[in-house]
Chain A
Amino acid sequence: MEDKEILDKFSNPESQNMAFNQLVRKYQQKIYWHIRKMVIDHDDSDDLTQEVFVKVWKNLGNFRQDAQLYTWIYRIATNECLTFLTNKKKRFFLPIHDVAAELAEKIDTSPDISGDEIQLKLQKALLRLPDKQRLVFNMKYYDEMKYEEISEILGTSVGALKTSYHLAVKKIEEFIKRD
């Protein structure tokens, strides 16, 4: 179902639930994986994904159709991730690298994370990046989004995003070579 059709059906109280169910089915995987790559833990990702869709439900009536629906949902998911990570750092009074270390440990120990050594190393290298740069990298590298789309989601200029991505690639390559 196209986004426009979903939105039209959502505006009708009789077909609202059905339309929203379609929306969740359409975007759940993209949103879940976007969140999972940021927070690593499945349970946290599950909570945040549900939270994102509850927020989408509450605010979809006010959604301006001049923006794309999926970039709007991505923006909500991105904000949820950043808020979650910020709160995590505040809660434990830990500096950034300690949260990164905690998440890196999950990569080593969690039963629902598996891959060869270089793949796991790549994930650990990503955790060394600042959260926003990690978001840029994930959206460009894994989700293969255009810079313009990422710019719309993060509210950052395309030029700044290009620089951020190339710096991220450099840092990751350096980390893997060195470690």
Chain B
Amino acid sequence: MNKMKEDFKLDSLPKHNVYQVPEHYFDRLPTRVMERTTAAEKHIPAWQQGLWVSLRAVAAPLVLLLVFVGVFFFNVQDQDKDEFAAVQPLAEQEILDYLHYNEDLETADFAELSYLTKQEFTSDFLNISSTAAEAELEYYHIRNIEE
């Protein structure tokens, strides 16, 4: 063996495959490859799969949140319309006349007006100037009511 090693020339060595495969390996390999190519055709890329899984996890809470937000804004807008829609088309004089001659007004209504004056909401709320509102309050002796 040592002599053989010393004189070793690759050309003198017969070519021999030292590796073996399991029995019938090459008979089965085409079927296994075909299975993989079929799977590859149906395969959804990993990033898309991940995205879909994440979306499914957040989809239900997201839809619920959107519904709540939608309902909330719809109601707020509707409420604003209700409060101001009736007052806005009226002229200042019409409101003043109403306050002068409407006998159904109760002291509690003016108490509420007084509160609004303090809050500086009067002009926005009644759609009249704050001076006019104060004049009306004096007319009905609001100070006495407060006392």
Residues of A within 8 A of B (CB): 17, 20-21, 24-25, 28-29, 32-33, 36-37, 40, 42, 46, 49-50, 53-54, 57-58, 107, 112-115, 117-120, 122-123, 141-142, 169, 172-173, 176-177, 179
B4 within 8 A of A: yes
CB-CB nearest in chain A for B40: A54
Question: Of residues B1, B4, B26, B37, which shows the largest number of chain A Cβ atoms within 10 Å of its Cβ?
Answer: B37
Residues of B within 8 A of A117 (CB): 1
Q: Are B5 and A24 in contact (CB under 8 A)?
A: no
Residues of A within 8 A of B17 (CB): 33, 142
Residues of B within 8 A of A (CB): 1, 4-6, 8-10, 13, 15-22, 25-26, 29-30, 32-34, 36-37, 40
A-B pairs with beta carbons under 8 A, tally: 82
Residues of B within 8 A of A112 (CB): 19-22
CB-CB nearest in chain B for A117: B1
Cα–Cα distance between A113 and B16 once the two chains are bound (Å): 12
Cα–Cα distance between A112 and B26 once the two chains are bound (Å): 15
CB-CB nearest in chain B for A40: B19
Q: Are B40 and A28 in contact (CB under 8 A)?
A: no
Residues of A within 8 A of B19 (CB): 33, 36-37, 40, 42, 112-113
CB-CB nearest in chain A for B16: A119
Question: Of residues A24, A141, A169, which shows the largest number of chain B Cβ atoms within 10 Å of its Cβ?
Answer: A24
Cα–Cα distance between A79 and B117 once the two chains are bound (Å): 84
Q: Are B32 and A169 in contact (CB under 8 A)?
A: no
Q: Are B37 and A54 in contact (CB under 8 A)?
A: yes
Q: Are A42 and B22 in contact (CB under 8 A)?
A: yes
Cα–Cα distance between A173 and B6 once the two chains are bound (Å): 9
Residues of B within 8 A of A54 (CB): 33, 36-37, 40
- Besides A28-B26, A54-B40, A123-B18, 6 other A-B contacts (C-beta < 8 A): A50-B36, A54-B33, A114-B18, A119-B18, A141-B15, A177-B5
Question: 10 closest A-B pairs (Cβ-Cβ)?
Answer: A115-B18, A57-B37, A24-B30, A112-B20, A53-B33, A176-B8, A24-B33, A119-B16, A54-B36, A119-B18
Cα–Cα distance between A71 and B93 once the two chains are bound (Å): 97
B57 CB to closest chain A CB (Å) equals 31
Q: Are A122 and B29 in contact (CB under 8 A)?
A: no
Residues of A within 8 A of B9 (CB): 173
Q: Are A57 and B40 in contact (CB under 8 A)?
A: yes
B16 CB to closest chain A CB (Å) equals 5
CB-CB nearest in chain A for B36: A54
